Amino acid sequence: MLFAMRRPTSLLLLLMTASVLAQDPPTPPPPPRGVLPVPKEGGWMKRHEEFVATAKKGPIPVLFLGDSITEGWYRKDIRKIWDERFAPLSAANFGISGDRTQHLLWRLQNGEFDGQTPKVAVLLIGINNIGQKDPEPPESAAAGIEAVVGEIRRRSPTTKILLQAVFPAGERPDHPYRAGVRRIALRPMRRPAASVILGQSCTKGSCSSSPC
């Protein structure tokens, strides 16, 4: 009798196990927008094509990559600093106003980094992911930054990457953007490497930037 009771129980367990195994695996969440390369149109594409033409001219020893904070080195009021400090290093500035991580990632994959093995790449990107219209979660920006770093390392493993912290946006320390910037900064990179040099974020209330 005991054997007869065990047999149906064992069969039931087998059937339940088979039912569980036969179920479709859960659908993974979609990747964050910050890691999905996407271009923009209009003047943005023209700037991209100019950068591609620059890259085709020859090696770039020092390459600045980012959004308008990087592009801002060419502003009239501070261009003198660029000319004095960075131009002698044959540096190139590939910053475009308004770029998010996904835009920079697309640019790198579509000609701007082809054939390049810079000694140093200076990278500052991410504030526009969380600070423009249609904002993304800070985790999307952080993942996008990591994707950009990975793309540079994949294409040029010997390049030293000076990864600048995302600047605190907003005039006051309690500005909503500040919390997002902190969440980006607190996410550790999954694949740290000696080739990545981390810059430090400014934390005082007087230090601020705007999405740009």
pLDDT, tens digit (0-9, with 9 covering 90-100), for 123-171? 999 999 998 889 999 999 999 999 999 999 999 999 999 999 998 887 7
CA distance 162 to 148: 12
pLDDT at 25 over 80: no
Query: Tell me, what's the pLDDT at 45?
Result: 97
Architecture of domain 32-198: 3-Layer(aba) Sandwich (3.40)
Sequence spans of domains, the chain: 32-198
**Which phi and psi (to 5°) does residue 122 adopt?**
-100, 115
